[in-house]
A and B are shown apart, each in its own frame.
Chain A
C-alpha cells in the first residue's frame, strides 16, 4: 500500500500533530506515504465561492502531480477530501471541462488525464488495509474507553462525489473504534456541522454549533470524541473555551485525532502522540493506555 500523501494546510501548521502521528501510525502498519510537498492548497471550498474554474484548475494541479507519481491520493482532512472529490468527479464526468482545465494547466506545463482517486485516511484504513488486519496489530486494546464518533460533514457529504459511507447511517468510525477495543457511544450529532467554515465570519452562530456538538457528545456518555478532520478538531478543541463561555457550562470534552486513537491502541506513547498540543487535555482518558 502506497499513497501520495496530502496532509492539507491545517495539519502542516495548526494541527501538525495530526500529520506527524498519522505518519507514525502508517509506519507501524506498513502503509507507504509519499508526501506531496509541492502540492498547493485545495481551496477549502472558499476557492469555489470565488471562482469555480480556478478551484478546478488548482485541484487538477494536485491530481496531475499524483498522476506523475502513479499513486492515488490520501488525505487526513475531510474538507480537502470533499473539495478534491467534488473537483475530481466534475473533471472525470465532463470531458469538455477537463479539456478546458487542461488548457489552463498547459501554461504551467501540466496535464491531468483523470486517472487519480482521492481517499480519506479513514477509508484507506477500512477499505484498503482492513479492520481485521488492524485488529491484529493492536497492542493495547482501548478497553472501557468510551469514544463518541464524530464524522462532521465533509467526509460524508455530498455523497455524489465519492460516497464511501452512508451519510444517513455511517458506520466506519464505529467499526474502527470497536476494532481498537474501545466502546462506541451513541452520539446524536455525529453527522452535524462543527461550524468551522464560518467561525471567522459569523462567530456566534459557529460557536453555538460547536457547543451543541460538544454537548451531544458529552450527553452520550463519552470520555472523548474522535475526529477524522483537523478543521473539526480546531472547532471542537481550540474553540471549546468559547463554547463554554457562551453556554455558561464546563464541557471539558477532549477531542482525539483519528491517528491518535489508532496510535494509542498500537502502543505509541502519549508523548509521541503529542496530546500536549491540545487545548483540552485528554490526559485523564488516555493515561492508562500509555507507558
Chain B
C-alpha cells in the first residue's frame, strides 16, 4: 500500500541552504518494510538529495537513529505499517539535542565528546591475586559480569541522548549514553584506581539526571541507562564522593525515612541546600505557607511501625558494611 512519509528536511550549511520543513513522499510499503527501507526507496526512486545515515541495516551499528512520530528509534528496526497504524501518520525527524548537518543527519561531536570525557577504556588494577589465576588471567564470575552486561550492549545510537529531558534543558549534561559507558567500566571488577567516579559526580554529571526514564524507555537494545545511573549514584555514595547537593538530597531522605518512616520535605530542602541557600527559599516558603503548603516537619509525624523500618535498615546495613561506616561517620559529624 501507499503510505505518506513526512520527513524533516534542513540544509543549514549546503549551497542550497534550505530552511527546515517537512517534505511528504508517497511510498509503496509492504508488510515488513522498515523505515530505513522506505528512506532508501525515496532516495533511489524519488529524491536523491535526501540525506540520512545507515550502515549495518540490522540494529547493530547504531547509525540510523531518527525520531519516528516523535520517539527516537532505529530506522532499520522499525516497521512502517505498525507506526502508521498506531499514529495514523509517519513523521520522520532528525534526533533532538544534536545540531543538524543535513536532513536526518546530525552532528554527533557533542555526543562523542562526552563519551571521551568519561575515559571509555578499562584502567585495570595493578595486581589482584584474588581475581587472577596463576597464569595471570582475570577470573570473572558470572554474577560480576552480569553487573555491566546491559551497559555493554550500548551501540551508541543516540536515542537516549535525544530523548533525555535534562539534556533538553542543560546541553552540558553528560547524558545517559556517556554515563552508561562510565558504569560499564566503574562496575567492572577489574577497574583500578581512577578519578572517573569523582569526575562524573561534578556538575552536569550523575546528580543532574531528573529521572524522566525516557532513556530506558527508548533504548532499542534494552540497555536501561537509568539503572546504570542509579548504580553510579550508589557507588559514589559507597566510595564517599558525597560533597554535593545530589548526595545531600539522597541522605536527607534516607535519614528522614529512618527516623520517621516518611519523607520530610522541610528537612530535605534544608539539608540539600544548606543554610545559606535555604534562606533564598524563604520567599517561596512564605508564599506556600499562605496556602497552607509549608512543609513543616512536625506535620509529617512518625509512623507507628517505625521500629520495623529501623530493623530493616539495620539488617541491610549489616550486609553493606561500607554503608554502615558512612552512616556512623555522618552521625558523628
For B257, list chain A residues within 8 Å (CB): 40-41, 43, 47, 58
> Quick check: is A291 within 8 A (CB to CB) of the other chain?
no
Known contacts A47-B254, A192-B165, A61 near B312 by CB under 8 Å = yes
Identify which of A37, A193, A209, A277 contacts B293 (C-beta below 8 A): A277
For A279, list chain B residues within 8 Å (CB): 287-288, 291, 293
Chain A residue with Cβ nearest B287: A279
Report the contact-size class of chain B (Cβ under 8 Å from the partner): 35 or more
Known contacts A13-B299, A43-B253, A153 near B212 by CB under 8 Å = yes
For B203, list chain A residues within 8 Å (CB): 202
Q: Is the CB of A168 within 8 A of B69?
A: yes
Known contacts A43-B253, A158-B217, A201 near B272 by CB under 8 Å = yes
What separation, in Å, do the CA atoms of A9 and B266 have in the docked complex?
A: 12
Q: Which of A245-277 contact B (CB under 8 A)?
A: 276-277
> Quick check: is B210 within 8 A (CB to CB) of the other chain?
yes
Q: Is the CB of B303 within 8 A of A38?
A: yes
B330 to chain A, nearest CB (A): 12
Known contacts A38-B303, A43-B253, A157-B214, A201 near B246 by CB under 8 Å = yes
Chain A residue with Cβ nearest B222: A160
> Quick check: is B157 within 8 A (CB to CB) of the other chain?
no
Quick check: which of A49-57, A120-128, A136-144, A177-185 contacts chain B, the rest being far away? A49-57
Quick check: which of A23-31, A103-111, A217-225, A282-290 contacts chain B, the rest being far away? A103-111
What separation, in Å, do the CA atoms of A159 and B315 have in the docked complex?
A: 31
> Quick check: is A238 within 8 A (CB to CB) of the other chain?
yes
For B213, list chain A residues within 8 Å (CB): 82, 153-154, 157-158
B301 to chain A, nearest CB (A): 8
Q: Is the CB of B165 within 8 A of A51?
A: no
A36 to chain B, nearest CB (A): 10
Q: Is the CB of A277 within 8 A of B315?
A: no
> Quick check: is B169 within 8 A (CB to CB) of the other chain?
yes
What separation, in Å, do the CA atoms of A45 and B213 have in the docked complex?
A: 11
Q: Is the CB of A104 within 8 A of B169?
A: no
Considering residues B71, B249, B293, B300, which has the most beta carbons from chain A within 10 angstroms of its beta carbon?
B293
Chain B residue with Cβ nearest A160: B216
Q: Is the CB of B312 within 8 A of A201?
A: no
For B296, list chain A residues within 8 Å (CB): 13
Q: Is the CB of B288 within 8 A of A48?
A: no
> Quick check: is A10 within 8 A (CB to CB) of the other chain?
yes
Q: Is the CB of A49 within 8 A of B233?
A: yes
> Quick check: is B11 within 8 A (CB to CB) of the other chain?
no
> Quick check: is A198 within 8 A (CB to CB) of the other chain?
yes
For B79, list chain A residues within 8 Å (CB): none
Q: Is the CB of A9 within 8 A of B263?
A: yes
Q: Is the CB of A49 within 8 A of B234?
A: yes
> Quick check: is A1 within 8 A (CB to CB) of the other chain?
no
Q: Is the CB of A48 within 8 A of B230?
A: yes
Q: Is the CB of A51 within 8 A of B234?
A: yes
Known contacts A168-B71, A193-B165, A205 near B208 by CB under 8 Å = yes
Q: Is the CB of B208 within 8 A of A13?
A: no
B111 to chain A, nearest CB (A): 19
Identify which of B70, B249, B254, B262 contacts A168 (C-beta below 8 A): B70
Identify which of A38, A50, A109 contacts B250 (C-beta below 8 A): A50
B44 to chain A, nearest CB (A): 29
Q: Which of B193-232 contact A (CB under 8 A)?
A: 203, 207-214, 216-217, 224, 226, 230
Q: Is the CB of A107 within 8 A of B315?
A: yes
Known contacts A44-B253, A61-B309, A205-B166, A9 near B262 by CB under 8 Å = yes
For B311, list chain A residues within 8 Å (CB): 107-108
Q: Which of B114-172 contact A (CB under 8 A)?
A: 165-166, 168-170
For B299, list chain A residues within 8 Å (CB): 12-13
A179 to chain B, nearest CB (A): 22
> Quick check: is A91 within 8 A (CB to CB) of the other chain?
no
Known contacts A48-B230, A195-B169, A278-B291, A209 near B320 by CB under 8 Å = no
Selected A-B contacts with CB under 8 Å, 9 pairs: A13-B299, A43-B253, A46-B250, A57-B312, A153-B213, A167-B217, A193-B165, A197-B211, A205-B173
- Apart from A50-B323, A157-B214, list 17 A-B contacts with CB within 8 A: A9-B262, A9-B265, A14-B295, A39-B303, A45-B211, A47-B253, A58-B309, A104-B312, A104-B316, A107-B314, A168-B70, A168-B71, A206-B169, A208-B169, A212-B169, A241-B284, A276-B291
In the complex, the 6 A-B pairs of residues with the closest C-beta atoms, listed nearest first: A193-B165, A108-B308, A193-B212, A157-B213, A49-B233, A9-B263
